[in-house]
Amino acid sequence: MVHLNAPHVRRQAVSVTRKMAASLPGLRKLAQDRGLKIHHLGAGYPHPEVTDPRGFLAHQAAYFQHLEQVEGLNDPAAVPEHLRESFSYTDTLGPLTTRACFARVYGADWGVTVDPQRLVPTVGASGGISLMCSLFERPGTPLAYITDAPTYAGFLARAGLAAHARIFSVEMDEEGPLVDRLRAQIRAARAAGYDVPFYYTIPDGHNPAGFSFSQARREAVLTVAREEGVLILEDAPYLYINYAKAEDRARPFIAMAPEQTVHLFTGSKIGFPGPRVGFLYSEATLAISGGEEASLTELALIESSADILFQNPGALRGFEALLHEMDFSERRSLWPVAEGKLTVYRENRQIMMDGLAQGLGDYPELFHWTHPGAGFFTVFTFLKQNGKLPVRTDDAFVSRLVAEHGVVVIPMYDFYPRDARERDSNAGYDQLRLSFCFSESVGDQRRRDLREAVDAFCSAVRDESGLR
């Protein structure tokens, strides 16, 4: 046995999603022994119907052949430049061609001029979260991370790794974080001796809260960030998984204030999850020792190279192919790519909203659910009756839904940071996160399966609430 003497290392609690994954085989067997079909409303994965890689692989191969023709090699033994680059060392910034192409297409979509030299490749958006935390944790000073209550479980897991870091969370309403509370938490953290580098959030298709911030609330949040001198760490996995009309979409923070924002892009939802292509982008500058200033990009690049010195050029050049049309001209927008996925997700969302309204819409005093403007989730809430919770959505409740009703959902309590649960011991114990993005079927069978799943959930809720 190895004896580890490392007081700075924390034992992390297992997330609710992993606990559910670990217990699911046994619960599934109990349900199947009862003759129940398993209904998946828990997984937040991209749907297999929109992540079939075969068409993309054919396009990628054709795009690489096009690059070879453009190079105009006369020597048949010569290795094409794009091929040599894809399997060679590349620096931490990765291939310039991919960054330049992405900067033009992404910038055009969101009305911002993106500088390719400020795009730092990351291992998905999660890699960007880890990079930002590492950058500010390295000096070892006490840190306070401001985030939402509830917030993304991956951020909670990463932020909890540093013994000298603490989370100060902010409650939300249906438009976004409570602005006065956001300011108060920043000041409370500083009064307690903590540096406050950023406020982390997912403003579009919030995971797990199941809604998007209003434009007015974003502007109010930006005002607080500027006045209090903190960055906004904008996680944007669902920016293109958006159900609002173009004229009704709120602007991302990166388009509002790139000098105040650190924007995290991931190709997992707009492209494919496996390659883990992502970018960190910011035009912010930071005060450093000696009274000097440095660009956040420069500091992030140094921090990134300490972790991943050489990016995967093959994955990045593959993503570059996605940024080109079938005739190999550069795309003017990624929205047509998104529409191929939105066709499925928009339909699934409507099935869930219609099913909840039909099954539980007669009880607005008992139940509430969010109407997601983007993303993969809706949050279902059991409303208090006479000041008390009618049910408690703990592990036992969720397990019972699987074993007795065949319905798999994710409870919300573990998405609330520790300080939020200290303020309210019932935080999240009245809520469930329902996912409409993933199933194991496609086409008409997918539609039937999702309708059956929502019907089964509504039936289970009525049973558990004593409505039968």
pLDDT in tens, 275-289: 899 999 999 999 887
* Structure confidence by residue, pLDDT tens digits, 345-379: 999 999 999 999 999 999 999 999 999 999 999 99
Note the Cα 332 to chain centre separation in Å.
Answer: 25
Mean pLDDT on 145-163: 96
pLDDT attached to residue 450: 96
- Structural domains for the chain: 16-50+336-464 (3.90.1150.10), 81-322 (3.40.640.10)
Q: Mean pLDDT across the chain, nearest whole number?
A: 90
More confident residue, 108 or 4: 108
pLDDT attached to residue 275: 86
* Structure confidence by residue, pLDDT tens digits, 24-60: 566 667 667 777 788 889 888 899 899 899 999 999 9
pLDDT attached to residue 388: 85
Distance, in Å, from the CA atom of 18 to the CA atom of 35, rounded to the nearest integer, reads 26
**Quick check: 161 and 219 in contact, CB under 8 A?**
no
Q: Please confirm whether the linkage preceding 208 is cis (ω < 30° from 0).
A: yes
pLDDT attached to residue 345: 96
Mean pLDDT on 419-438: 95
Mean pLDDT on 246-274: 94
**Quick check: 163 and 335 in contact, CB under 8 A?**
no
Distance, in Å, from the CA atom of 194 to the CA atom of 413, rounded to the nearest integer, reads 26
Interaxial angle between packed helices 54-71 and 313-322, expressed in degrees from 0 to 180 and rounded to the nearest 10:
100
pLDDT attached to residue 2: 40
Confidence label for 4 from pLDDT (cuts 50, 70 and 90): very low
Among 68-72, 155-159, 363-367, the range scoring the smallest mean pLDDT is 68-72
For 349-383, give the DSSP string. HHHHHHHHHHHHTT-TTTEEE---SBSSEEEEEE-
**Quick check: 305 and 83 in contact, CB under 8 A?**
no
Task: Write down the residue that tokens 């080109």 correspond to.
Answer: 324
Confidence label for 114 from pLDDT (cuts 50, 70 and 90): very high
**Which is nearest to 278 in space by CA: 413, 124, 165?**
124
**Quick check: 284 and 295 in contact, CB under 8 A?**
yes
Indicate the residue type of 300.
A
Indicate the residue type of 374.
A
* Structure confidence by residue, pLDDT tens digits, 172-193: 999 999 999 999 999 999 999 9
**Which is nearest to 389 in space by CA: 425, 352, 422?**
425
pLDDT attached to residue 304: 86
* Structure confidence by residue, pLDDT tens digits, 77-100: 777 777 777 777 777 788 899 999
Residue 260 has pLDDT above 90, yes or no: yes
The angle at the Cα of 124, spanning 438 to 142, to the nearest 5 degrees, equals 115
pLDDT attached to residue 22: 61
